[in-house]
Amino acid sequence: MQIKGAIEFEITECTADRVVAEMPIRAEVLNPYGVVNGGAILWLADVTASILIMGKTVPREGMKGFPLAINLNANFLGNQHKGTFRSVATIVKRGKTLSVVRTTVTGAEGKLIAEVTTSHLLSK
């Protein structure tokens, strides 16, 4: 059995203190119940947080300083089967080697979908 999926997203805002991304809900990210797979929601939050930590740095394979997620706490509070998810990442603590980010994922009419806190260690 072969199953394929795809996640599409767009960064709509990127400042030193906040990154906003949007992910359209497509059939490729739905679970068998017809709502978005939790892994896709978590992926969106993690990528949004990583972009916030990286700032203007463009990621490349093998780069030094990539913000590796070393801890992740996620609370899934809702879901939906169509529309768009919006992910907003803000800094809790920015350090030289360790940073903490809080990311919220919302859906239709601002409904809270997930609250995610991640700790990132800059790779060497």
For the chain, which residues make up each domain, given as ranges?
10-122
Residues 6+ apart with CB under 8 A from 70: 119, 120, 121
Please tell me the predicted confidence (pLDDT) of residue 120: 95
Tell me what percent of the residues of the chain surpass a pLDDT of 70. 98
Name the fold adopted by 10-122.
Answer: Thiol Ester Dehydrase; Chain A (3.10.129)
Q: What is the pLDDT of residues 77-86, one digit of tens each?
A: 999 999 999 9
Say what the pTM is.
Answer: 0.92
121 vs 12, 18, 63, 116, CA distance in Å? 25, 18, 13, 16
pLDDT above 80 (res 70): yes
Please tell me the predicted confidence (pLDDT) of residue 57: 82
Please tell me the predicted confidence (pLDDT) of residue 58: 80
Q: What is the pLDDT of residues 19-67, one digit of tens each?
A: 999 999 999 999 999 999 999 999 999 999 999 999 888 878 877 778 8
Beta pairing class for 10-14 and 18-24: antiparallel
Tell me what percent of the residues of the chain surpass a pLDDT of 90. 78
